[in-house]
Amino acid sequence: MVAAWYGHIEMMALFVERGADVRRSNRNGEQPLQLAAWGGHLEAMRWLLEHGAPLEREGNNWGALHYAVFNGHQQLVEELIARGANVNALSPNLSTPLILAAREGRDEVARRLLESGADATARNDWGDSALTMAMRYDHLRLAKMISSPEEFEIAVKAPKESFGEAVRSAAVPPEIDVILKEIRAAEAEGRSSVDLHKQLLATTRALQASSARPAVQKAMPRPYMPPSMVITARRGRPGAERAQLMVDGQAAGPGVAATPAGTGEAAS
């Protein structure tokens, strides 16, 4: 697995000579061919195919074409299609290679898939089509390519939010990447990776916890309120009136009794 990930043909040959199976899957369900395709290693991918690696996966699985399309490896896409790869292969979530090309904005890859018979109307288990993905991620040129003029006109007039929220792919945190490489190395060498998987889980949870901490909320500023005089009185109690100066909505000192009419003195 590690050799395929790095495209190291000599190392793959050594492992195969010692009994390694090019059809074996790792814990993520990936086979060496998918890892070579992900990394864009054309010669390594050819070597694996020539040494028994299956071009297609059984059932709904991520295949080499999915991986090559997602990362935009045009040469690998051409090679896989030329060898007969199914351009409408379904992933575990029913995504086709064209849906992935639309999501990532791979115009030329999408064009090649369409020329090879890719179904532009296919939808994944979320109901998203290639057109949905292209519009969601603002790949308008690609959207126009994969739709009819009528469909495209309707799409560009539709509210942006009707296509769902765009969630961009993010790089794997370096802490996770190091552990993943150690896991692949351990599995390739036949060593136990149980402790490494526990470490991976703990690290993932720690990163999730740190990123989920709420930001410090600043108090909302009060709107400005001009100074004012508030005078209160009670029915049937003449002379009980009180005056209170208010500044910015707050009482500015104690209130005072209002001067009763006709006395000229402050009431106590």
Q: Whole-model pTM?
A: 0.64
The rounded average pLDDT for each run of 10 residues, N- to C-terminus, in the chain (268 residues) is 90 94 91 96 98 94 96 97 98 96 97 98 94 94 96 91 65 78 76 81 78 44 50 64 60 58 44
User: Residue 162: is it exposed, middle or buried by C-beta count within 10 angstroms (0-12/13-18/19+)?
Assistant: exposed
Domain holding 39, by residue range, is: 2-163
Length of the chain: 268
pLDDT of residue 268: 40
Same domain, yes or no, for 107 and 188? no
How far apart are alpha carbons 159 and 58 in whole angstroms? 39
pLDDT of residue 48: 98
Q: What sign does the CA torsion over 237, 239, 245, 250 have?
A: negative
- Structural domains of the chain, count: 3
Same domain, yes or no, for 29 and 76? yes
Q: Is residue 218 part of a domain?
A: no
Q: Is 7 helix (H, G, I), strand (E, B) or coil?
A: coil
pLDDT of residue 46: 98
Q: Is residue 168 part of a domain?
A: no
